[in-house]
Structure 1
Amino acid sequence: MEPARSETTERTDSLRSRSFRITVDDGRDSFFALSIEDVSSDDAWLMSDTVVALENKR
C-alpha cells in the first residue's frame, strides 16, 4: 500500500459517481454501494459498501 500523495496542481477534471444495488446469496440479500472516480486516472477511486442517508443517522 502506498501513502497518499498530495497533488498541488489545479485540476479541472470532473469526478464521476455511480451507485449500485448489489444482490448476493441468489437474491436473498442485497446492499448498496457508492463509487466516486476521477475519470482521468485508473488509480483514483473510492468505493463504499455502506451507504446510509444522513437523515437516517439521527
Structure 2
Amino acid sequence: MGSARSNTSDRSSSLQSRGYHITVDDGRDSFFALSIEDPTSEDAWLMSDTVVSLEEMR
C-alpha cells in the first residue's frame, strides 16, 4: 500500500467552500451538499452530501 502525500507546502492559495441545496426527481427529493475546492486546480475538489439534523439520518 502506498502512502498519501501532502502538497500543501507547494501551494500558496487557500481553499474555497460552497454549500448547495440540490433538488432531484422533478422536485420530489432534495438534499444539501458541501463542496471544498482548490481554485487553482480543476482536479482538486471534494463534494459531500450533508445531513441537516440527526433525526434525518434515521
TM-score normalized by the length of structure 2: 0.69
Letter of the 1:44 partner, please give it: A
Indicate how the Cα distance of structure 1 residues 6 and 25 shifts in structure 2: closer, same or farther if over 3 A, else same: same
Match of 1:48 in 2: 48
Q: Does 1:25 align with 2:25?
A: yes
Higher helix share: 2
**CA distance in 2 between partners of 1:19 and 1:52 (Å):** 12
Considering only aligned residues, what root-mean-square deviation do their CA atoms show, in Å? 2.2
Gaps of 5+ in 2: none
**CA distance in 2 between partners of 1:52 and 1:42 (Å):** 26
Gaps of 5+ in 1: none
**CA distance in 2 between partners of 1:10 and 1:25 (Å):** 42
TM-score normalized by the length of structure 1: 0.69
**CA distance in 1 between partners of 2:30 and 2:42 (Å):** 27
Indicate how the Cα distance of structure 1 residues 45 and 12 shifts in structure 2: closer, same or farther if over 3 A, else same: same
